[in-house]
Structure 1
Amino acid sequence: MSREEMLNVMAEADCLHSDAEVRSAIDRMAADITEVLRHENPLCYVVLNGGVIMAGQLLPLLRFPLEVSYLHATRYGDKTQGGRLNWKVKPTEDMHGRTVLIIDDILDEGNTLSAVQQYCRDQGASKVYTAVAINKLHDRKATPGLRADFVGLDVVDRFLFGCGMDYKGYWRNTLGIYAVKGL
């Protein structure tokens, strides 16, 4: 897509949550995570690419010792609908007996997040927590009632971008949450 087309997508998009609302939600999440994990020795995995913006906002607010790493698992690639899970970069740190916190942008259907959680458990993690900026509200979750341990905002079932979520590779860098016009 051209730059002009991407500018048009933003101009026509519906702003569902402003930058300030997202920051407030992340502040609340940081307080909740701190309450639960402050006495642990957590290993935090940022799910690329979507989790980068979320992690960049969240991690500085966690005022306890932790380790940070990344993994890259995707079902989307450059597409707008998910397919088979593709591990681009698997976790490399020893997580045996560790508490793991997985940070991502969105919990949509939850197939990717569930697979990453299971992988961490299979590698011996003693506890696995999940933190997402957005929980998309719909009935298509990978398992009924699936929800992340720490959620910034619940958002309607539309095609979203912002706070790490992209539209055709663009607009991850805006903190606000937007919905593509007509989608």
Structure 2
Amino acid sequence: MSVDLAHIRQVMAEADCLYDNADVERAIAQVAQQINGELAERNPVVFCVMNGGLIFAGKLLPLLDFPLELSYLHATRYRNETSGGELFWKAKPEISFIDREVLIIDDILDEGHTLAAIIDFCRHAGASHVHTAVLINKEHERKARPDLVADYVGLPCIDRYIFGYGMDYKGYWRNAAGIYAVKGL
């Protein structure tokens, strides 16, 4: 598969910056403060949802001032496309969380199909409680379940196709130091 890097660069050049690096870092610090206040004594197992949650988790975890166990999982609907399909598990959790509280760290709560499936998986596998932390909550009426709300949210976002801080555009720009919206999407 050949990638048109000129197109990928053009997407960034034309993108609208919704939140700059400082905005995102402040939001992550606020999420950490909430989690420290609520989960410090609960011995949670923390799962980073790959690949999108990697940067958020990497920035968030050093701000958590309590002992925790960390692992990852990888479930996706996008596979480097701009619209989602069926849920595909690339890696299920390998650490036991039976009768434990779980904190899922992900990049975005958009429609929530992936996050809902991960929450259900953790509950059915024996977690005593599942908490969720997302960097971005996309504001629209298309959530997978009307009751699906993240416990910890960094920033709200308008309903556009966004990238940066772990979120990608066709597999690229996860490394962008800010939250950007693709022109026209």
TM-score by length of 2: 0.97
Question: Which of 124, 127, 130 is matched with 1:128 structurally?
Answer: 130
Supply the distance in 2 between the matched residues of 1:113 and 1:58 (Cα, whole angstroms): 18
2:67 matches 1:65: yes
> Are the equivalent residues in 1 in contact too, given 2:44–2:69 (CA < 8 A)?
yes
Structure 1 residue 166: deviation in Å? 0.1
2:183 matches 1:181: yes
Supply the distance in 1 between the matched residues of 2:148 and 2:22 (Cα, whole angstroms): 27
The equivalent residue for 1:150 is 152
Tell me whether 17-26 or 2-11 shows the greater mean CA deviation: 2-11
> Are the equivalent residues in 1 in contact too, given 2:48–2:57 (CA < 8 A)?
yes
> Are the equivalent residues in 1 in contact too, given 2:28–2:135 (CA < 8 A)?
yes
Q: What per-residue deviation string (whole Å, max 9, x for no partner) do you get for residues 95-130 of structure 1? A: 111110000000000010011001001111001000
Supply the distance in 2 between the matched residues of 1:150 and 1:99 (Cα, whole angstroms): 15
Q: Which amino acid aligns with 1:114?
A: A
Supply the distance in 1 between the matched residues of 2:176 and 2:48 (Cα, whole angstroms): 18
Supply the distance in 2 between the matched residues of 1:44 and 1:20 (Cα, whole angstroms): 25
2:103 matches 1:101: yes
* Structure 2 residue ranges without an equivalent (≥5): none
Q: Which amino acid aligns with 2:8?
A: M
Supply the distance in 2 between the matched residues of 1:87 and 1:14 (Cα, whole angstroms): 32
2:108 match: secondary structure: strand
Give the direction of change, closer, same or farther, for the CA distance of 1:175–1:147 in structure 2 (3 Å limit): farther
Q: Which amino acid aligns with 1:122?
A: H
> Are the equivalent residues in 1 in contact too, given 2:49–2:105 (CA < 8 A)?
yes
The equivalent residue for 1:21 is 23
Supply the distance in 2 between the matched residues of 1:182 and 1:75 (Cα, whole angstroms): 22
The equivalent residue for 1:84 is 86
2:123 match: secondary structure: helix
Q: What per-residue deviation string (whole Å, max 9, x for no partner) do you get for residues 25-56 of structure 1? A: 00000000011101011110000100001001
Supply the distance in 2 between the matched residues of 1:24 and 1:78 (Cα, whole angstroms): 28
> Are the equivalent residues in 1 in contact too, given 2:80–2:169 (CA < 8 A)?
no
The equivalent residue for 2:162 is 160
Structure 1 residue 79: deviation in Å? 1.3
Q: Which amino acid aligns with 1:129?
A: H
Q: Which residues of 2 match residues 24-43 of structure 1 at below 5 A?
A: 24-43=26-45
Q: What per-residue deviation string (whole Å, max 9, x for no partner) do you get for residues 114-157 of structure 1? A: 11001001111001000000000000001114210000000000
Q: Which amino acid aligns with 1:31?
A: Q
Q: Which amino acid aligns with 1:45?
A: F
